[in-house]
Amino acid sequence: MTSRRGGRRLLAATVMAALCGSTFDEAALEGWPTTAAVLRGWPSPAAVLKGWPTPAAQSLRPEQAGTETRALWVLRTSLTSPASITALVRSARQHGFNTLFVQVRGRGDAYYRGGIEPLAPDLARQPAAFDPLAAVIEAAHARDIRVHAWINLNLVSSAVVLPAARGHVVYRHPEWLMVPRDIAQELARVDIRSPAYVGKLARWTRGQLTDVEGLYVSPVALGAAAHTELVVRDITRRYALDGLHFDYARYPTDRFDYSRHAIREFRGSVSASLSEARRRALNAESAT
C-alpha cells in the first residue's frame, strides 16, 4: 500500500512522466520531492491579495449586519443599451432584489469605458458617452441596490468566434493561453506568434465544446496573472462598487495546462529538488 507521502511522490512522478514522455514505477521514486516540497515558497492567497484595493463603495455604503442578500445575476447581454439597463434595474427593484452581480468582463473584453482591454463588440453601436457599468451603478444605487462586478478571470475568448479586436489578449499574448495535453506536442512545433498557433488551439477547442467553453489564459504565466490583476485594480479604482465576484478561476479540465511556459515552470520547480542523476535524465529528456 502506498503511504500518503509516497502517494504524493507517485503523483509528482506521474505528472513528470506525462511531461517528459517517459514512464516511472513506484520503486524508482526515491529522491523525488513531495507535493509540499514542490510548493514550498509559493505565495499564499493572503500574500497574493495583500495591497489590493477595497472596492470604493465598501467604505461609503457599508452593508448592515444581518441584511439578507437577494441577488440577481446580470449577464453582459443585458448591458448593451441604456434602455436595457433601465429595465433590468426597475425589474430587480420590483421583484425585491437588493444586489446585482453584473458581468463586466465576459471574454477578455470590457463592458465599461476606458479599460485596458478592448470594448465589448456588443457596445460598438452605442454612443461613446454610454458606460454600462457606470449606468448600472448610478441607477441601482439610486434605488438602494448594491452592485458587484462579476469578472471572468481565466476564460478570455470564445473558440467559435475569435475576437475581432487585434489588441485582445489572445493575439497580444498567445503564449499565455492554456494548452491541452492532446495537442501539446503539435503546438510545440508551431511558432507561437504565428496566427496558426491560436487557430489550431481554437479548432481543437471547437471540437470539445461540451467540456471546454473557450480559450483560457494560464494562471501559471506570471504575465497573465499580472494582466488580470491590472484589470481588477482598474475597475475597483474607477467605479463605486459594492463588491467583486470572480468566476472561471479554474482550468478548463484536468487535461490542461501543457503550454510551453507551464511545462518549463514545472520542470524547473521539480528539477531543483532532484538528485544529480535524475536531473541529468530530465535534461536529456528535455533535449529530445
Domain contains 16: no
Question: Taking 70 as the threshold, does the pLDDT of residue 275 lie above it?
Answer: yes
Domain contains 252: yes
**Model confidence pLDDT, tens digit, residues 82-130:** 999 999 999 999 999 999 999 999 999 999 999 999 999 999 999 999 9
Domain contains 128: yes
Domain contains 21: no
Predicted confidence band of residue 159 (pLDDT cuts 50, 70, 90): very high
Domain contains 116: yes
Domain contains 205: yes
Beta strands 155-158; 214-216: pairing state: antiparallel
Domain of residue 112: give its range. Answer: 69-285
Domain contains 259: yes
**Alpha helices, H only, 95-161:** 132-142
> Under DSSP, is residue 147 helix (H, G, I), strand (E, B) or coil?
strand
Report pLDDT for 136: 98
Question: Taking 60 as the threshold, does the pLDDT of residue 237 lie above it?
Answer: yes
CB 214 within 8 A of CB 157: yes
Report pLDDT for 216: 98
Dihedral (CA of 86, 87, 93, 94) sign: positive
Task: Output the nine-digit C-alpha cell for 240.
Answer: 463605486
**CA-based angle 223:228:233, to the nearest 5?**
120
Task: Output the nine-digit C-alpha cell for 179.
Answer: 494548452
pTM (2 d.p.) = 0.74
Report pLDDT for 42: 47
Separation between Cα atoms, residue 139 and residue 150, nearest integer Å: 17
Question: Taking 50 as the threshold, does the pLDDT of residue 9 lie above it?
Answer: no
Predicted confidence band of residue 179 (pLDDT cuts 50, 70, 90): very high
**Model confidence pLDDT, tens digit, residues 50-95:** 555 554 444 335 555 567 899 999 999 999 999 999 999 999 999 9
Count up the domains in the chain and report the number. Answer: 1
Domain contains 89: yes
